[in-house]
Amino acid sequence: MSYEKVAQVNTEKIVGTKQVLKAIKNGYAKEVIVASDADSHITSKVLRVATEHNVPYYYVDSMKELGKACGIDVGAATVVIKQ
């Protein structure tokens, strides 16, 4: 998934590892976007939980660009696109 697609998604986006994990566990996640340059200590748990809950995940290259696509001024390691 590209940054442009993330930016154009009309449904709500959830940013932040704690909120992303909560959304996946509660069944709100349609898909997860993960920045490749994020710390694997952070992303590994999100990827594991997404896999356990059969939520597809996609990679983008940059935390900074992912945050920008979500409309925030800081980088984002993981983002959920809500159903």
Which domains occur in the chain, in start order? 3-82 (3.30.1330.30)
Which of the four pLDDT bands, split at 50, 70 and 90, describes residue 75? very high
Residue scoring higher pLDDT (12 or 52):
52
pTM of the model: 0.87
Closest by Cα among 4, 19, 2, 15 to 61: 2
Question: Of all residues in the chain, what percent carry a pLDDT higher than 90?
Answer: 73
Task: Return the DSSP state at 12.
Answer: -
H helix and E strand count, the chain: 4, 4
State the Cα–Cα distance between residues 26 and 75, nearest whole angstrom: 24
Residue type, 76: A
Task: Return the DSSP state at 38.
Answer: S
